[in-house]
Amino acid sequence: MSLSKVNASLVNEISKKNLIINGNFQVSQRGTYTSATSLTTSSVYYLDRFKSKCDGVTGTITHKVDQSVNGKITDTVLLSSTSTATGRLETLQIIEDIQQFKGQATSFSAWVKSNNANARIVIHTDGSNVQTSSTTHTGGGAWELLKGTVTNATNISNMNLYCGIQAAGTGNISGVASGDYFEMTFLQVEMGSVSTDFKHRSYGEELALCQRYYCETNNLPNGSLRASGYAGGGTTGGFTFDFPVTMRAVPTGSWTNGQTLYANNGAAASVITTLGSTSASVTSSDINLIWGSSYTSNSIAFYTGAFSAKTSFNFDAEL
pLDDT value at residue 153: 92
Q: Is 55 domain-assigned?
A: yes
Question: Given 211, 246, 272, which residue is the final one in a domain?
Answer: 211
pLDDT value at residue 3: 42
Q: Are residues 151 and 239 in the same domain?
A: no
Low-confidence ranges of the chain (pLDDT < 70): 1-16, 128, 219-226
User: Residue 107 belongs to a domain with what CATH number?
Assistant: 2.60.120.260
CA atoms within 13 A on the CB side of 139: 9
Contact 49, 77 (CB under 8 A): no
Q: Is 3 domain-assigned?
A: no
pLDDT value at residue 258: 79
User: Cα-flanking dihedrals φ and ψ of residue 169, to 5°?
Assistant: -100, 20
Q: Are residues 207 and 219 in the same domain?
A: no
Q: Are residues 244 and 135 in the same domain?
A: no
Q: Is 132 domain-assigned?
A: yes
Q: Are residues 167 and 32 in the same domain?
A: yes
Instruction: Provide the domain count of the chain.
Output: 2
Q: Are residues 114 and 205 in the same domain?
A: yes
Q: Are residues 194 and 261 in the same domain?
A: no
Q: Decide: helix, strand or coil at residue 189.
A: strand
Q: In sequence order, which residues have a C-beta less than 8 Å from that of residue 165 and are 6 or more positions away? A: 79, 81, 88, 89, 90, 114, 116, 118, 119, 173, 176, 180, 182
Distance, CA of 164 to CA of 56 (rounded, Å): 14
Question: Given 194, 211, 228, which residue is the final one in a domain?
Answer: 211
Q: Are residues 178 and 240 in the same domain?
A: no
Question: Given 184, 211, 238, which residue is the final one in a domain?
Answer: 211
Q: Are residues 162 and 256 in the same domain?
A: no
Q: Is 9 domain-assigned?
A: no
pLDDT value at residue 47: 98
pLDDT value at residue 220: 65
Q: Is 296 domain-assigned?
A: yes
pLDDT in tens, 242-257: 999 999 999 999 988 8
Q: Are residues 32 and 100 in the same domain?
A: yes
Q: Is 127 domain-assigned?
A: yes
Q: Is 10 domain-assigned?
A: no
Q: Is 67 domain-assigned?
A: yes
Q: Are residues 230 and 283 in the same domain?
A: yes
pLDDT value at residue 6: 38
Q: Are residues 145 and 236 in the same domain?
A: no
Distance, CA of 238 to CA of 150 (rounded, Å): 50
Q: What is the span of the domain harbouring residue 190?
A: 16-211
Q: Are residues 157 and 221 in the same domain?
A: no
pTM, 2 dp = 0.90
